[in-house]
Amino acid sequence: MASTFSTPASTALFRRLTWEGTVPLEIRVDPNQLPANSDRGLECYYVQAPRVSYLPLLVPEIKRFLLDVVFDVAAAKTIKEEEWWFETDDQVLMKWHWSIGLLYDYHTVTTSMKSAKRPEGQQFPLRLILHLAAPPTDKLLIAPSIEACKQAFMGQLKEADFLRWGNTKRMTGLRGAEQDGIWEGIKDHNFEEYWKIASKITPTTTPARPNSPPPASVSMHSRPSSTDQSGAPDKDGAYNVRSVPIRIYLPNGPVLQDLAPPSLESGTLNTLGKFLSTLLPLLFPANQRALACPLIQGVVCPLDAEIAWLGACMAGADGWVNVMIGIL
């Protein structure tokens, strides 16, 4: 991702691409829990779900489907969606506070370790079993409600804000209605609605970017000004954060999080490759061929991608860049 990509237009493009990303889900009701007189054979719901959405937000439409197509009137009265929960075919529990894209990608890298037969370029549905009762509340960690999911989402935004700047002024500076507005953008899956407010808290890239020394010390007056009228250094920019909010997911393994500064002490920009070499040297040995590759939003990410750019353009809606590690 060279500096030619760090324009406002390309930033907006990648943010739009990330936002519009969807993954296929196949949701099948646990056959042992289907109420009597259900229309068996139809109890499967297919949806191309937004990556930035969450399972609790899908529950209402799944419920409508089941009421319309599968359950009879008597069964409809017994529905308690607060007892619903999802797991994959191989008993992996789907957490309410992980975005759908994250659940899908984690499943992809984890299962690719087990089987080898996968045609190129096809996206297979994530097959989920919907249980209607007896949720393992301890493992689900948060309540199944949309409100609890919203709180978890806002918490992630705040954690990202704090990681970037050492304070949460940008988040707490939003009015209550604005904070609600970000979540409404997710619920409505509306790009403009979400970014109208998210742009106030998400650092962006600048039109022209210096290579070295670190951006903060370079005079910005020589840049052609386009959107930045003030001419002041872009102290709120993606390359000036303390740390990029980024998490690394190992297949069947831990989630790793560590400080990820946009620039290194030498003054060069920190790249995904350099960051992974520091964090996972056995898989990404410096100056040698990597044994694994990083996937972000379901696509392979070049190791020379600047992590500051990733933070500005390829993060999830909760502010975090989620990197899956696939073994080559």
* CB neighbour list of residue 278: distance below 8 Å, 6 or more residues apart: none
- Shorter beta-carbon distance to another protein: residue 51 or 95: 95
- Shorter beta-carbon distance to another protein: residue 14 or 320: 320
- Shorter beta-carbon distance to another protein: residue 132 or 314: 314
Distance of CA 227 to CAs 42, 183, 221, 266, 310, Å? 53, 27, 13, 30, 21
Q: Which residues pair with 87 in a beta bridge?
A: 93, 129
CB of 321 to another protein, least distance (A): 14
Give the binding site for another protein (CB under 8 A).
Answer: 95, 97, 108-109, 112-118, 120-121, 141-142, 151-152, 154-156, 158-159, 161-163, 167-168, 172, 243, 247, 250-259, 280, 282-283, 289, 291-293, 295, 300, 324-328
- What is d(CA 62, CA 82) in angstroms, rounded to the nearest whole number? 13
- What is d(CA 20, CA 212) in angstroms, rounded to the nearest whole number? 34
Placement of tokens 């529950």 in the chain = 59
Placement of tokens 């060069």 in the chain = 268
CB of 5 to another protein, least distance (A): 21
CB of 142 to another protein, least distance (A): 7
The alpha carbon dihedral of 246, 148, 186, 71 has a sign of positive
- Shorter beta-carbon distance to another protein: residue 155 or 213: 155
CB of 173 to another protein, least distance (A): 13
- Shorter beta-carbon distance to another protein: residue 4 or 287: 287
CB of 141 to another protein, least distance (A): 4
Q: 174, 200 in Cβ contact below 8 A?
A: yes
CB of 122 to another protein, least distance (A): 9
- Shorter beta-carbon distance to another protein: residue 209 or 274: 274
Structure tokens at 136: 């393992």
CB of 80 to another protein, least distance (A): 20
Q: 296, 81 in Cβ contact below 8 A?
A: no
- Shorter beta-carbon distance to another protein: residue 150 or 274: 150
Q: 144, 163 in Cβ contact below 8 A?
A: no
* CB neighbour list of residue 80: distance below 8 Å, 6 or more residues apart: 132, 133
- Shorter beta-carbon distance to another protein: residue 207 or 262: 262
CB of 41 to another protein, least distance (A): 31
Distance of CA 173 to CAs 77, 124, 176, 178, 327, Å? 44, 42, 9, 10, 42
Cβ burial 199-236 (10 Å sphere, 16+ → b, else e) = eebbbbbbbebbeeebbeeeebeebeeeebeeeebbeb
